[in-house]
Amino acid sequence: MSADTLTETPESVPGDHFVEINTDETIPNNVALTSDKQLQRALETWRPKYLDWWQDMGPEGFQTSKVYLRTAVGVDPAGWAKFDYVRMPEYRWGILLAPKVEGRTVPCGRHKGEPAWQEVPGEYRATLRRLLVVQGDTEPASVEQQRYLGATAPSLYDMRNLFQVNVEEGRHLWAIVYLLVKYFGKDGREEAQALLERRSGEADNPRILGAFNERTPDWLSFFMFTYFTDRDGKMQLAALAESGFDPLSRTCRFMLTEEAHHMFVGETGVQRTIEATCNAMNRAGIKDPNDVEAVRRLGVVDLPLLQRKANFHMSVTRDLFGGEISSNAAESFSAGLKGRFNEANLKDDHVLADATYPVERVVDGKIVEEQVPALRAINARLLDDYIKDCQGGIDRWNKVIEKAGIAFRFTQPHKGFNRRIGEFGGKRISPAGEVLTEEQWQARSGAWLPNAADMTFIDSLMKPCREPGAYASWIAPPRVGINNQAGDFEYVKIA
Ligand code: BYC
Ligand code: FE
Ligand code: FE
């Protein structure tokens, strides 16, 4: 594949050789599905239910349109995908595992150094099942959250990117369902069914994690979501790729290959929005980024509003790491089911019996840093790694603004800002990291999170643009086409 100028390089897949996948089968796969009749039957029973879910809860409209999509056809990093026009319901959702690494061992915890497990260890069955279900639940949830966005796509290029992300999140659901059905028998089949029944934002049967029940009401949210929330996907998948349960590790390693593009869509989407704003401001001779009325009259998004949008998505996504101090996370790590980010490359004993880790908490109305047993701070550490990982794209956004000569910088709010889960859950913390009273928060939070006027304004911009090569006023064209296609390429042939 000639990459879509990925700024996020796909995770490398160590020790690979091209593994032929069987694309003639109903379910393309590289797991020798035909040799396991029971598994094949279970998945072929699940498939029509998945397709029903896709029709009901997947992208609204456009299901008969031909979309220029990439489909995974192998696991060789140099040529794993092919591009072609596909109608979404006919997308080849397959099951792909990264190649087995011979001699792989459990990388962390009390079983460190033992051969990696090819079957589920009985004593960890319930914990592993829970991790799989939580991970699996986010995949269809995100498709549900994004289902109305096709109608207001700012270009065919962006519409295609949305649908690409959607079909791949669908494939991620397949990836997890494969593990549930293959390794968890009847329980696994029931969980696979339940994954199609929960609904994002539905009061009676919601998705499991908070952020996946929020709305993705507009394209700015979509770009922020794919930059910030898909990056939680990257971090969590990377941690699960360190699992001693080898089939999970291999599944996640391949999922990470697809994830890079989702974050690329988010980063470049925000960047192109910033470019359109800066260009319009300079053309109109507006120097002050806080002259919001004047900027909005140009039909572009003011930078302070983009910061508020980012603040919302960053804070909601940070909640996805769970409590900073967590005995669940300690147990998953010690059991060898879920490692840390880059576990294999970390220079410590990978057992963490005596180590400590600094965690910020609120004590007597002040934010203090405390040393906590590292085992119980696994989530805190992954969150810190995530916050560092977010900064690269933010720096690149700031470069665009600086080059345009506009005095504005995007920043990440304090870790405790607007949190519902963990040490800062329910506390009132400003982006600068001050502990506030409820009154102070009520008086000031409108400047930090999208307010009603912001949402009305964004809504007014969300007008579809469907001429090949044309873009809505508020977003600049991409520098390079998908798979190097020309600028006026028809990414979606609307039926
Ligand atoms: N909302 O010990 P605690 C992705 C629950 S994104 C609601 O603090 P733990 C994607 C928690 O379940 C990656 N509930 O946390 C991105 C627990 O309940 P139980 C998704 C929450 O267990 C974009 C209790 O509170 N993958 O792939 O250490 C598009 C105490 O929890 C929340 C994963 O998350 C919340 N935010 O960690 C598409 C990886 N947070 O079990 C896809 C798998 C916590 O006591 N999951 N709770 O009833 C995990 O590793 C862990 O379950 C978590 C939570 C990190 C999520
Ligand atoms: Fe995913
Ligand atoms: Fe993703």
* 317-331 residue pLDDT tens: 999 999 999 999 999
Nearest atom in ligand 1 to 138's CA: 42
- Among 32, 31, 10, which residue's Cα sits nearest to residue 76? 10
| Confidence (pLDDT) at 80 | 87
Determine the distance separating the centroid of ligand 1 and the alpha carbon of 133, expressed in angstroms: 10
Which range, of 25-29, 202-206, 230-234, 254-258, averages the lowest pLDDT? 25-29
Determine the distance separating the centroid of ligand 2 and the alpha carbon of 229, expressed in angstroms: 10
Whose C-alpha lies nearest to ligand 1, atom 31? 322
Q: Cβ(127) to ligand 1 under 6 A?
A: no
pLDDT digits (tens, 9 = 90+) for 76-100: 888 889 999 999 999 999 999 999 9
Q: Cβ(255) to ligand 1 under 6 A?
A: no
pLDDT digits (tens, 9 = 90+) for 354-385: 999 999 999 999 999 999 999 999 999 999 99
Average pLDDT over residues 216-236: 98
Confidence of residue 8 (pLDDT cuts 50, 70, 90): very low
| Confidence (pLDDT) at 19 | 52
Q: Cβ(230) to ligand 1 under 6 A?
A: yes
Q: Cβ(233) to ligand 1 under 6 A?
A: yes
Q: Cβ(221) to ligand 1 under 6 A?
A: no
Q: Are 118 and 247 in contact (CB under 8 A)?
A: yes
Nearest atom in ligand 1 to 208's CA: 7
Query: How many angstroms separate the CA atoms of 481 and 485, rounded?
Result: 5
Which range, of 10-14, 237-241, 276-280, 306-310, averages the lowest pLDDT? 10-14
Q: Cβ(321) to ligand 1 under 6 A?
A: yes
Give the β-pairing of 66-72 and 366-373: unpaired
Query: Which runs of consecutive H residues, i.e. helices, occur in 351-446?
Result: 378-403, 438-444
Secondary structure letter of residue 478 according to DSSP: P
**For helices 185-195 and 156-183, what crossing angle results, to 10°?**
160
In order of start, what are the domains of the chain with their CATH numbers?
Answer: 33-326+377-493 (1.10.620.20)
Confidence of residue 26 (pLDDT cuts 50, 70, 90): confident
| Confidence (pLDDT) at 249 | 98
Whose C-alpha lies nearest to ligand 1, atom 49? 131
Confidence of residue 106 (pLDDT cuts 50, 70, 90): very high
Q: Which ligand is nearest to the CA of 137?
A: 1
Query: How many angstroms separate the CA atoms of 223 and 269, rounded?
Result: 6
Q: Which ligand is nearest to the CA of 237?
A: 1
Which distant-in-sequence residues (6+ apart) come within 8 Å of 152 by Cβ? 218, 219, 462, 463, 464
Indicate whether 294 pLDDT > 50: yes
Q: Which ligand is nearest to the CA of 165?
A: 3
Confidence of residue 2 (pLDDT cuts 50, 70, 90): very low
Q: Cβ(242) to ligand 1 under 6 A?
A: no
Indicate whether 460 pLDDT > 60: yes
Determine the distance separating the centroid of ligand 1 and the alpha carbon of 6, expressed in angstroms: 28
Whose C-alpha lies nearest to ligand 1, atom 36? 320
Whose C-alpha lies nearest to ligand 1, atom 45? 328
Q: Cβ(142) to ligand 1 under 6 A?
A: yes
| Confidence (pLDDT) at 246 | 98
Whose C-alpha lies nearest to ligand 1, atom 9? 322
List b or e across 85-107, with b for residues whose CB sees 16 or more CB atoms inside 10 angstroms: ebebeebbbbbbbbbebeebebb
Determine the distance separating the centroid of ligand 1 and the alpha carbon of 131, expressed in angstroms: 8
Q: Cβ(421) to ligand 1 under 6 A?
A: yes
Indicate whether 4 pLDDT > 60: no
pLDDT digits (tens, 9 = 90+) for 32-83: 999 999 999 999 999 999 999 999 999 999 999 999 999 988 888 888 899 9
| Percent with pLDDT over 90 in the chain | 93
| Confidence (pLDDT) at 209 | 97
Q: Cβ(200) to ligand 1 under 6 A?
A: no
User: What is the model's pTM?
Assistant: 0.95
CB atoms within 10 A of CB 413: 21
Confidence of residue 6 (pLDDT cuts 50, 70, 90): very low
Query: How many angstroms separate the CA atoms of 447 and 84, rounded?
Result: 45
Q: Cβ(378) to ligand 1 under 6 A?
A: no
Average pLDDT over residues 463-488: 97
Residue with tokens 């925000």, as numbered in its chain: 270
Determine the distance separating the centroid of ligand 3 and the alpha carbon of 391, expressed in angstroms: 18
Q: Cβ(322) to ligand 1 under 6 A?
A: yes
